[in-house]
Structure 1
Amino acid sequence: MISPHLSTLIESRIDHLDPELRHVLELLAFQEPLSLEVLSKLSAPETVEAAENEGLVRVRRRDDSGLTVKLAHPLYGEVVRAGTGILAARRLRGEMARQIADHPPAHVSDRIRLAALALDSDSPPEAELLISAARDALTLGELVLGERLARGAMAMGAGFAAALPLAHSLAWQGRGTEAEAVLGPIDTTSLGEFDLLLWCLPRSANLFWMLGRPDEAASVMATVRARLSNPAAVNLLDALEAMFAVYAAQPAAATASIYEVIDSPVALPLAKAWAGASGALATAYLGRFDEVPSFAERGLAAAAESETGLLRFTIGLGQVYTQTMSGELDAAEELARHYVDFAEMQQPGRSLGGVLLGRVLFVKGALAAAETEFRQAAAVLEGTGYSWAFLSAAFLCQSLAALGRAGEAREELVRAERLFGANTEVFRSDLEVTRAWVAASESDTRQAIAHARAAAAAAAGSELLAQEGLCLYLATRFGDATTAPRLAEIADRVPSPLLKAAAAHARALADGDGEALDTIAGKVEEAGALLAAADAAAQAAAAHASAGNRRAELASTANAKRIADLCGATTPALAVVAKPLPLTEREREVASMVALGLSNKEIADRLVVSVRTVEGHIYRSCIKLNVADRAALADAVRVGSR
């Protein structure tokens, strides 16, 4: 908001300009930057030069395409627009649109701007221009602009051709019900094969992801498949069905079809983009990391040629997962930031990029920064129908739990569970991991391990070998000393330094080898995975304590606390070294739940023991800590945690 005083000063300066100079400002107020060539045809070249000399405009070189002109300060534009009537503004836009149209721009972004300019001018463009620009906008991920251009074409009676980009833009904005209202009523009986397919694909995708109605999506596709004969058309349908299969947790079965599509000489860019995205995600979770780069490269190239700008973030999910599992955390962060930058703060792309970035930050132990990314993404994606909405909520929950904010984590778990569905089945292990983190934050180590094990089982059921290993690694860090045999098998089959470290960690934990755990903590910290390093160091301290090596115990404890301080983390392993209370593991678990405010019955239900057993643990803990009652025990635990 401009202050009245500043507005008056700027208005005064503009009012005293020559009409020719004011006209330059008016043009740029409604469209900037303008090429110097175009602006010099709308105003005399010497007038543009005078505007630069007066400090009203700035001239810059744009790549190799010549000089461009912008207002010297955005406030000039705000004041001019505020003082310009609707009809005058339409006339100005018309002047520019006609001049730009005489010299068709080479850049896609410029063509989109031309269409948007003409749409709001006194010289409305042809519907074909708006449709083409709407498609270009979708390719670049500019969903709101794509919707506006497509609606403009619809208003001109463009019909089916405009309905397609309109439905795409609505669906990608998470407005699935509106997209179905556009596509559902269309009479498809007279459509040719490709038009039929162009209607079927966005409608099926919208039904599957945005509306969570996979059976209806499958029915639509089956009906259309019966009418197809062209190989390229069949490829498109195969590509989308393969992507559905990946999200339905059948990635291994889908990869054969994915390869057929992406290798097909007749496959269209849209089909290859879908195949590249589903292939990158599937092979990453399967642990076939050497296949991910090819899918990513080919998928990104195809996405740049089709109206699927947001598919690149699914490709990014596979890429970032692969680099993280490969121990290339700095490269993973750089790539995630590239996706954030690509979005240029436009939603939902910025939020999808934020999920990628937050995931890397979480592994690196930058928990507060990760929480920020996930919280912002979850707020934007809530209610959109995106599978990313579930991921953002689940990862936010994990971050809160790792930060020790158990109450907030429990609330976020409710949201994550609500957002999980048939269209996110491939992420079932992530849901169980989220439950594991919440249980851990509530000091219920037994349940935390059980959920981590359930996550590994879910991943194994879908042949997601890398993900299974990651889940078993979490169980190990939570104190499960039985994971070593399976982790060793997975580490032999999946080319992942992270999983090799996990297997070594599991073996050292099973053997009670504090020295080996110290070594693993150092290597994992050096790789940048601070959260896992802190757990290894804490478990090393416990192993040294069991062996009676007090000096080594103190050194490992100090190391664990140092790394934990860098992360701000609270985990079951860290809780042990952070609370030097003379209690057994089960007594500490019960006492921690007392400190959280749980009743004896609630504790008994969580631990699957009797209330009398819980009372016994509390009684013995009170004696050991020399406190009188339950409330004093809770206070002692809270003091010990600080």
Structure 2
Amino acid sequence: MVFAWPTVNRDDELRTVVSTLRSRRGPWGAVLTGDAGVGKTTLARAAVGAFAGERRWAAGTESARAVPLGAFAHLVGVSSPMDAASVLRAAREHLVADSADIVIGVDDAHLLDRLSATFVHQLAVNRIAPLVVTVRTGEPVPDAITALWKDNLLTRVELPPFTRAEAVSLVETVLGGPLEESSANRIFVMSEGNPLFLRHVVEGALEAGTLREVAGVWQLRGETVINPHLSTLIESRIDHLDPELRHVLELLAFQEPLSLEVLSKLSAPETVEAAENAGLVRVRRRDDSGLTVKLAHPLYGEVVRAGTGILAARRLRGEMARQIADHPPAHVSDRIRLAALALDSDSPPEAELLISAARDALTLGELVLGERLARGAMAMGAGFAAALPLAHSLAWQGRGTEAEAVLGPIDTSSLGEFDLLLWCLPRSANLFWMLGRPDEAASVMASVRARLTHPAAVNLLDALEAMFAVYAAQPAAATASIYEVIDSPVALPLAKAWAGASGALATAYLGRFDEVPSFAERGLAAAAESETGLLRFTIGLGQVYTQTMSGELTAAEELARHYVDFAEMQQPGRSLGGVLLGRVLFVKGALAAAETEFRQAAAVLEGTGYSWAFLSAAFLCQSLAALGRAADAREELVRAERLFGANTEVFRSDLELTRAWVAASESDTRRAIAHARAGADAAAGSELLAQEAVCLYLATRFGDATTAPRLAELAERVPSALIRAAAAHARALADGDGAALDTIAGKVEEAGALLSAADAAAQAAAAHASAGNRRAELASTANAKRLADLCGATTPALAVVAKPLPLTEREREVASMVALGLSNKEIADRLVVSVRTVEGHIYRSCTKLNVADRAALADAVRVGSR
């Protein structure tokens, strides 16, 4: 696969340089400074190329550095020996002999020999010609070149690396598709925005297959790959270092940051200082714990590690591990890093330290590191104690089959109650969620329950069974057990974390919003004490749902972003947080941003077994449908339906909502309403009152005028601003009250729910039209279109105001399906009417629009939708 890399324009910098070339006062030209690979030469050539006259180009090189005037040998003809002053004068005369209107470019001026540097300086001092000179930051530069900007002879233009947004935009342009955010962040961190490094990092990952497209999203997985071009580029910077300086780089390549105190004991303090002065390392203050040192560029470490042998690497890690162990770190992250460092050293730690560090890593959501530490302990023969964190890490990474292979063969006959539970919980959870085998999970728990006697042990099993009940759409029945566990004085943190998560989710969907904060607070506190880093996202689902239903959309978005930030780009946590954020953005009408979040999450969660995989696919489908991309939505619906199962039954109403949105995008309003009502029935059957209201509200927005009585009941029973708005909306629609719908649109928009506001405004326009109030109709139509434009949305209500065709609602529905390419038989099947009835609607539509046939009718509908 070949990818073309475009030349990235630095328009602002180019304009600055070109303007200096045209200046007749002040600096006549520019010096471009920056790190290797930031594009100095490209910009210099573009500026020189924009000059109308003759162009001359010279470049400093290591090989020509020893030759006087070597960089200009191809441009000036000095054949006889003479003193330096005469040489410079002759060179100057020869350079401008052919033309007085020239521009001179000098690349890599830091590599110029002394005489060449003096020659460039004289050209600038005597204003012989405008100059564009490039200099690499961090290199020793001849005094004559430094004087170019110090003496204001040329304008200095510092060329910075790309910003993150610029780097990601470039890579996405090259790949032709979106980058997963965590992968984009990793690529940017590795390249630090250096354009040349960026290109080589991406090309190396593509060649190695670690950067690949999954479900339309590019993901970077596995180790960084340094291709030969990039390796050579970086090695040219560090290969000729003194052994002492290189040793500093080697230490930091295997462990960074290091405290200055530790590094200064492994290498002389003056050497560390020299490394900083040379731009090889950076020294920063870390809170109040003193100074830390890290490499100046992440890729230095990659190249050094690649060039270091296995034994040497083990020795370096051992040096550092022993030194750090003499000053035991207080921060949990530092303790984890110490264990990881020692694991692959010539002084491996005790298995107990690895197990403890693995548990800490899982608590912080560091799943891959947790797996590595646990595997290290397993290799030391730790057995059962190491198998538990290993299985947790595998399951939470979506590798359920591997987790079962670790837990399944364990002989539990000699385990005590709590060890038995510590085996049962992750295995049952893995069977239920990751492998979709709930009956086996129930069997494992039943066999274990018979051996339990201690109340705390029973609490643990009760908590997990309650969570299973919630996901099996029995949340009301599960809440009593959840309260017993979370209120139990003997319940362990793990049990309380499970109870908090299941309680927050259950009470949110049940519409018992006042109970959610307590479950969330207690569950999060317990999760921080146990190996349940990802459970907090389930708690977040209940919290964000509650705030959204309460009309607190700003707070909901802030909370969702908190969960995104908490994940710190680690997967799958980043994707779980993305589902929360995307859902809020969808309600707010930020459909494009919501689609991005859901698409990235769906790609990451594909094949993991998480219930969140279904949610991401379903919500992505809804976003696509709301954006009017019917074909894409239909394709995503197939995936959502495939991911739905017994372990996601609590989300059945979300599945029906998804089907409703797809039907709406296909102009089948009748079927859309039917699916929304089916979702309401499913939710009501499980006593999910809040979710029932959500489904009925969507049916209302799709044109169902029969939902008002039930929504009014739900508004009385569930304390929710959103449900109260839905009930008022339904009553106004049933009454055909355009003014009331206008008022509702305004209130809902003020709350931030722009998509719902757009539907209310569109239905207000239709109500005003029915009442013959043309002035009000036009005002509501304009409002609906404004809101629709803000969202980029297409819904059944908006389709009416967007298509000023003189057709009835059913005629418009049939005509829209004709425009989608459906046959009369397919339309009849969808609408559950006869083909003859469809033909009648098409005939009347053609007559009203004065078109000849189906094809012309389809064209008229398409034109009217623009």
Task: Quote how far apart the aligned CAs of 1:319 are.
Answer: 0.7
Task: Indicate how the Cα distance of structure 1 residues 518 and 131 shifts in structure 2: closer, same or farther if over 3 A, else same.
Answer: same
**Offset of 1:260 from its aligned partner?**
1.0
Deviations 1:407-430 (A, max 9, x none): 111111111111100100000000
Identify the match of residue 104 of structure 1 among 328, 351, 359: 328
Shift of 1:12: 4.4
CA distance in 1, matches of 2:427, 2:780: 57
Residue matched to 1:472: 696
1:210 CA displacement: 0.6
2:428 aligned to 204, 227, 240, which one?
204
Q: Any idea what the Cα deviations from partners look like across 1:338-382, whole Å, max 9, x if unmatched?
A: 111111111111110110111011001010111111111111111
In structure 2, relative to structure 1, the CA distance for the partners of 1:2 and 1:171 (3 Å cut) is: closer
Structure 2 unaligned spans of 5+: 1-224
* TM-aligned CA deviation for residue 290 of structure 1: 1.2
1:73 deviation in Å? 2.0
Once the two structures are TM-superposed, the CA of residue 594 in structure 1 deviates from its matched residue by 0.7
* Cα distance in structure 2, aligned partners of 1:576 and 1:120: 66
| CA distance in structure 2 between the aligned counterparts of 1:378 and 1:237, rounded to whole angstroms | 31
| Cα distance in 1 for residues equivalent to 2:335 and 2:854 | 71
Structure-2 separation of matches of 1:363 and 1:182: 42
User: 2: distance between equivalents of 1:445 and 1:75?
Assistant: 55
- When structure 1 is superposed on structure 2, of 56-65 and 624-633 the one drifting more is 56-65
Tell me the percent identity.
96
- Pair 13,636 (structure 1): closer, same or farther in 2 beyond 3 Å: closer
Q: Deviations over 1:138-192 (max 9, x none)?
A: 1111111111111111111111111111111111111111111111111111111
* Alpha-carbon offset, residue 78 of structure 1: 2.8
Deviations 1:570-611 (A, max 9, x none): 000000001111111111111111111111111111111111
Shift of 1:13: 4.4
Alpha-carbon offset, residue 24 of structure 1: 1.2
Of the structure 1 ranges 439-448 and 17-26, higher mean CA displacement relative to structure 2 is found in: 17-26
Cα displacement (A) at 1:17 = 3.0
Q: How big is each residue's C-alpha offset from its partner over 1:204-243, in whole Å with a ceiling of 9 and x where there is no partner?
A: 0001101111111111101101100111111110110110
Q: CA deviation at 1:47?
A: 2.6
- How far apart in 2 are the matches of 1:268 and 1:64? 34
Secondary structure at 2:282 match in 1: strand
Q: 1:371 to 1:200 in 2, by over 3 A?
A: same
Distance 1:267 1:65 in 2: 37
Kindly indicate whether residue 331 of structure 2 is the aligned counterpart of residue 331 of structure 1. no
Alignment pair present for 1:303 and 2:527: yes
SS at match of 1:23: helix
**Structure 1 residue 112: deviation in Å?**
1.2
Evaluate the alpha carbon distance shift between residue 588 and residue 26 of structure 1 in structure 2; reply closer, same or farther with a 3 A threshold.
Answer: same
CA deviations 1:304-330 (Å, max 9, x no partner) are 111110001001100110110111111
Cα gap change, 1:347 to 1:3, in 2 (>3 Å): closer
Change (3 A) 1:4 1:209: closer
Quote the Cα distance in structure 2 between the aligned partners of 1:2 and 1:456: 54
- Could you say if the C-alpha distance between residues 391 and 6 of structure 1 is closer, same or farther in structure 2, counting changes exceeding 3 Å? closer
1:476-521 residue CA offsets vs partner (Å, 9 max, x unmatched) = 0000111111111111121111111111101100110000000100
The CA distance in 2 between the partners of 1:278 and 1:75, in whole Å, is 44
TM-superposition CA deviations, 1:54-75 (whole Å, max 9, x none): 3322221212222211112223
**2-structure distance, mates of 1:495, 1:50:** 65
Q: Secondary structure at the match of 2:788?
A: helix
Deviant stretches of 4+, over 6 Å? 1-6
**Post-superposition offset of 1:19:** 2.3
Q: Tell me by how many angstroms 1:21 deviates.
A: 2.1
Q: CA deviation at 1:52?
A: 2.3
Displacement after TM superposition at 1:15 (Å):
3.7
Q: Secondary structure at the match of 1:463?
A: coil
CA distance in 2, matches of 1:461, 1:169: 36
2: CA distance between counterparts of 1:370 and 1:6? Answer: 36
Higher mean C-alpha displacement, 429-438 vs 28-37: 28-37
Shift of 1:76: 2.5
Change in Cα spacing, 1:142 to 1:521, as seen in structure 2 (3 Å) is same
Query: Bigger CA drift: 456-465 or 534-543?
Result: 456-465
Work out the CA distance in 1 between the residues paired with 2:860 and 2:598. 34
Distance 1:15 1:434 in 2: 58
Deviation at 1:14, TM superposition (A): 2.9
Query: Which protein has the larger Cα radius of gyration, Structure 1 or Structure 2?
Result: 2
Q: 2:764 aligns with which of 540, 543, 560?
A: 540
Provide the C-alpha distance between the structure 1 equivalents of 2:232 and 2:478, rounded to a whole number of angstroms. 65
Aligned counterpart, 2:275:
51
- Secondary structure at the aligned position of 2:284 is classed as strand
Distance (Å, rounded) in 1 between the aligned partners of 2:739 and 2:865: 26
> Matched residue of 2:496: which SS?
helix
1:578 pairs with 2:802: yes
- Please report how far the alpha carbon of residue 129 of structure 1 lies from its aligned counterpart in structure 2 after TM superposition: 1.3
Shift of 1:81: 2.0
> How far 1:50 sits from its partner (Å)?
2.9
Would the alpha carbon gap of residues 479 and 5 (structure 1) be closer, same or farther in structure 2, given more than 3 Å must change? closer
RMSD value over aligned CA atoms?
A: 1.3
Using the TM superposition, give the Cα deviation of residue 127 of structure 1 relative to its aligned residue in structure 2, in angstroms. 1.2
Matches within 5 A, 1:107-146: 107-146=331-370
Counterpart residue number, 1:20: 244
SS at match of 1:581: coil
SS of the residue corresponding to residue 232 of structure 1 reads: helix
Compare 495-504 and 61-70 and name the one that shifted more.
Answer: 61-70
Provide the C-alpha distance between the structure 2 equivalents of 1:293 and 1:630, rounded to a whole number of angstroms.
Answer: 57
Q: Distance in 2 between matches of 1:12 and 1:614?
A: 74
Greater Cα shift, 415-424 or 52-61: 52-61
**1:421-478 Cα deviation digits (max 9, x unpaired):** 0100000000000010011111111111111111111111111111111111101000
Distance 1:567 1:13, change over 3 A: closer
2:200 is aligned to none
* 1:82 Cα deviation from its structure 2 partner: 2.8
| Range moving further from structure 2, 384-393 or 134-143 | 134-143
Query: Relative to 1, partners in 2 of residues 1:42 and 1:221: Cα closer, same or farther, differing over 3 Å?
Result: same
| Distance in 2 of aligned mates of 1:216 and 1:10 | 54
Cα distance in structure 1, aligned partners of 2:859 and 2:232: 62
Question: Using a 3 Å threshold, how does the CA distance of structure 1 residues 6 and 618 change in structure 2: closer, same or farther?
Answer: closer
By percentage of residues, which structure has more helix? Answer: 1
C-alpha separation in 2, matches of 1:264 and 1:63 = 39
- Residue 374 (structure 1) aligned with residue 598 (structure 2): yes
Query: Which aligned pairs between 1:607-622 and structure 2 lie closer than 5 A?
Result: 607-622=831-846
Q: Residue in 2 aligned with 1:523? A: 747
Output the CA distance in 2 between the equivalents of 1:416 and 1:562.
32
